[in-house]
Structure formats: structure tokens, C-alpha cells
């Protein structure tokens, strides 16, 4: 149903249908970012806050939310950073490969992202449907995992599953913003590393995005400055996709991965799939 809470299969309104999020999904996501109800604060230092929602730590699919204040970075700049796959490798040290597969509408596409995990874990990848919405001075980007027949799971990666992941970028005065990142992902065998993940990895990842925002205007001036298909959809050269080509990616349909015992000493996660 519309506005369903994240705890039910969040982005699958009819259970099995792939669909493009509508205004009610974006407003529901925004409410979750801004709400404190049911969220437990796990970390709050140096302008970064991390919350978890409701589940036990042993649960593989956790809902995590983080927030960072970004002074000197306007909301529209951070929005560009999170869209610009050309810039991704400059700031995301875990990325192996990221590219757009095809466009569904002026504000929805399908993309691929893979990231390095520390040995002996296998590296992870995602195929996601991503949609975005400018809301005056604020912006939302949402994604969830889908299956595309030309991009099946690969032998050299574990296919992770995003039930719903997204960003809310809120303008905060002139030239500053607040970034929320909310994720409900099944990393398939990997965990977020308990307290270590919440205290170290998530804050670290948010700070990287903030730093990327500070450096982006200078980088973009030198790299096709007028090209922003997420702002100007007529610039997109992606092939058109139809929803009929896609289906939902369920974790239980993928090969079972058991990496418990491998993750004790060192655990990393990506700087968060945008």
C-alpha cells in the first residue's frame, strides 16, 4: 500500500511489481528521515548522528539512518555529487565499478554499482532502480534493488539487496545543507559490523560525501561543466528501459552466503550506494 512503512517490503507496493516511486513514497521517505519515533541514537559526534531502527543487532537486515551538517556545501551541489557517476571514483575509495544502465523516465533510471570488501570477504554489487525529486530547495534520491536480464549476479561478486536506500538533502541557510542517508539493505552474509559499523563506517562515509561536496565545484569546472542529465533530462544519452524488463530482486532467491566468522576483525562497507 502507498506510504507503507519500511518494515514491510518497502518499495514493492503490489508485492512483486517493480514501479517508479510517486509523491507519496517520497513524502513517506522524508518523514522517516525527519522522524525520531522508533529510532535509537547510536552515535552523535562532530556533526554526525547515526540511528538504528527497531531490530536486534544480530538481524542481517537493519534499518540505519545517518545525518551530517554540511557547512559551505549548498544542497544542489551535494545533489550533483550523489548523481555524478564520473565523480564517484574521486571520492568513493571502495567503488570498483559504477555506471548507468538505462533510463525509465525523466527522473528514474537503473544503474550498477560494485564495491570492494576486505579480504577474505567477497566483493558486493547492486543493480538498483533509482529515482529522484527536487522539492524546492531540498532534494530526495531513492533506490531499491531490481533484476535486469542483462545484468545477472556474477561469480566474482555477492549480489547485495537494497530494500530501500535514499538521501534527503535539506537546504540549511545560504550555502549550507543537512544530508540524511537512510538505508535498509541485506548485504548477504556481511553485517554492518555491529558497533564498529555504526561508530566508524557510517560516520566515515558521510564525512567523505561532505568532503566530496566541498571539492566538486572545482572538479566539475574541468569535467564537462554543463552536463547534468539528472537536472536536464534532455541531455541523457541512456537507452530507454521499460518497467516490463525488470523484476524485483529478492535476497532469498540468491545463493546463500555464509561469511560469519570472517567478519570478526575487519569489516568495511561502501561509501553508500547513491
pLDDT of residue 173: 84
What are the Cα distances from residue 106, in Å, to 109, 141, 156, 244? 8, 13, 33, 17
- With 0.95 as the threshold, say if the pTM is over it: no
Looking at the chain, the whole-number percentage of residues with pLDDT higher than 70 is 79
Residue in the structure block whose three cell numbers are 550523489: 82
Give me the pLDDT at residue 10, please: 47
Count of C-beta atoms within a 10 Å radius of residue 144: 25
Of the chain, the percentage scoring pLDDT greater than 90 comes to 61
- Average pLDDT for 4-15: 44
Geometric angle at alpha carbon 262, from 257 and 264, rounded to 5°? 130
What would the mean pLDDT of 132-156 be, rounded to a whole number?
Answer: 94
As a dihedral over the C-alpha atoms of residue 145, residue 2, residue 30, residue 23, rounded to 10 degrees, the angle is 90
Question: Which has more pLDDT, 187 or 73?
Answer: 73
pLDDT of residue 20: 93
| CA-based torsion, 132, 111, 4, 37: positive or negative | negative
Cell of 205: 562515509
Query: How does pLDDT run across 175-202, given as a tens digit for each residue?
Result: 999 999 999 877 666 555 555 566 778 8
Cβ-contact 248, 162 below 8 angstroms? no
Q: What is the pLDDT of residues 210-222, one digit of tens each?
A: 999 999 999 999 9
DSSP secondary structure code for residue 10 in this structure = T
Amino acid at each position: 500500500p502507498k506510504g507503507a512503512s519500511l518494515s514491510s517490503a518497502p518499495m514493492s507496493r503490489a508485492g512483486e511489481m517493480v514501479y517508479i516511486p510517486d509523491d507519496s513514497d517520497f513524502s513517506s521517505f522524508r518523514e522517516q528521515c525527519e522522524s525520531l519515533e522508533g529510532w535509537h541514537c547510536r552515535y552523535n559526534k562532530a556533526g554526525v548522528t547515526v540511528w538504528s531502527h527497531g531490530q536486534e543487532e544480530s538481524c542481517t537486515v537493519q534499518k540505519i539512518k545517518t545525518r551530517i551538517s554540511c557547512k559551505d556545501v549548498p544542497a544542489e551541489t551535494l545533489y550533483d555529487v550523489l548523481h555524478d557517476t564520473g565523480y564517484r571514483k574521486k571520492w568513493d575509495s571502495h567503488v570498483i565499478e559504477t555506471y548507468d544502465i538505462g533510463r525509465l523516465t525523466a527522473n528514474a533510471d537503473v544503474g550498477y554499482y560494485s564495491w570492494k570488501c576486505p579480504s577474505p570477504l567477497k566483493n558486493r554489487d547492486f543493480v538498483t532502480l533509482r529515482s529522484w525529486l527536487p522539492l524546492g530547495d531540498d532534494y530526495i534520491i531513492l533506490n531499491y534493488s531490481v533484476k535486469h536480464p542483462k545484468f545477472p549476479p556474477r561469480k566474482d561478486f555477492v549480489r547485495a539487496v537494497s530494500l530501500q536506500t535514499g538521501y534527503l538533502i535539506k537546504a540549511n541557510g545560504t550555502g549550507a545543507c543537512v544530508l540524511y542517508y537512510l538505508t535498509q539493505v541485506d548485504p548477504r552474509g556481511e553485517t554492518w559490523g555491529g558497533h564498529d559499523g555504526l561508530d566508524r563506517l557510517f560516520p566515515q562515509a558521510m564525512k567523505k560525501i561532505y568532503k566530496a561536496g566541498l571539492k566538486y565545484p572545482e572538479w566539475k569546472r574541468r569535467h564537462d561543466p554543463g552536463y547534468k542529465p539528472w537536472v536536464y533530462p534532455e541531455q541523457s544519452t541512456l537507452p530507454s528501459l521499460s518497467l516490463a524488463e525488470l523484476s524485483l530482486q529478492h535476497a532469498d532467491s540468491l545463493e546463500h552466503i555464509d561469511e560469519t566468522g570472517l567478519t570478526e576483525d575487519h569489516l568495511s562497507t561502501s561509501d553508500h550506494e547513491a
